[in-house]
A = this chain, B = another copy of it.
Amino acid sequence: MKVAILLFDGITALDAIGPYEVFAATQKCEVKFVAKQKGIIRLDSKMGYLHADYSFSEITSADILVVPGCSPPNYKNPMNDEETLNWIRKINNTSKWTTSVCNGSLILSAAGLLKGAVATCHWGSFDLLQSLGTIPTDERVVRHEKIVTSAGVSSGIDMALQLVAWEFGEDISKGVQLILEYDPQPPFDTGSIKKAPASLVEKMKKSLQEISNKDS
């Protein structure tokens, strides 16, 4: 099974590496990191890089496409970049599954793949997703036909495990979960806007806005 993971300047690393690790652990997937140009790809934090081993021109099909997201100030780039959107449309024409993590669904929506569909993204971007003609929902993993979107950053692990179960069967997915020892025990229970106190949600909204203003 060929998996293509899109990389772009300003990407959130865990959005890409969460699903990568799940698909790699199946021992049934050939995972390729793809970007407009191959080479190092700067992270949204500006404190490191991922690496694209393939350029758009080298990858013309995939069984599974993964579109990661990025921090608010940066998602404008791939959303407004026709070359990236065209590559996504081309791969989507060949894919069995097209997926996104975090604000990656904004890019899928900008590419015209989620018009009128129900999908999810980072909780901080529901309004923007809606403005693109997609109906936001706060579920963690959302399937619309062959398109599977997932919530913020860490949700790509859950999304990929779910997709592995659909594609390769439950036993493979369970085995991968054990290999990755994915037995989450966060010290608190504030990982969604439904669970976090309203005051914390407001504070983090402001923090995201500040990052956005600083970078724009």
A interface list, Cβ under 8 A from B: 12-14, 17-18, 20-21, 24, 27, 30-33, 40, 43, 45, 47-51, 53, 102, 122-123, 140-141, 151-155, 157-158, 161-162, 165, 170-171, 173-175, 177-193, 195-196, 200-201, 203-204, 207-208, 211
Contact = CB atoms under 8 A, between A and B. Distances in A.
Which residue among A157, A178, A189 has the maximum number of chain B CB atoms within 10 Å of its CB?
A: A178
Number of copies: 2
Interface secondary structure of A, over-half rule: mixed
Contacts of A178: 190-193, 196, 200-201, 204
A183 B156 CA distance: 11
Nearest to A15: B21
A14 B154 contact: no
Nearest to A190: B174
A55 to B, nearest CB: 15
20 contacts: A13-B21, A14-B20, A21-B154, A24-B43, A31-B47, A152-B179, A153-B180, A154-B157, A154-B184, A155-B183, A162-B187, A165-B188, A173-B187, A174-B200, A175-B204, A178-B192, A178-B200, A179-B204, A183-B191, A184-B186
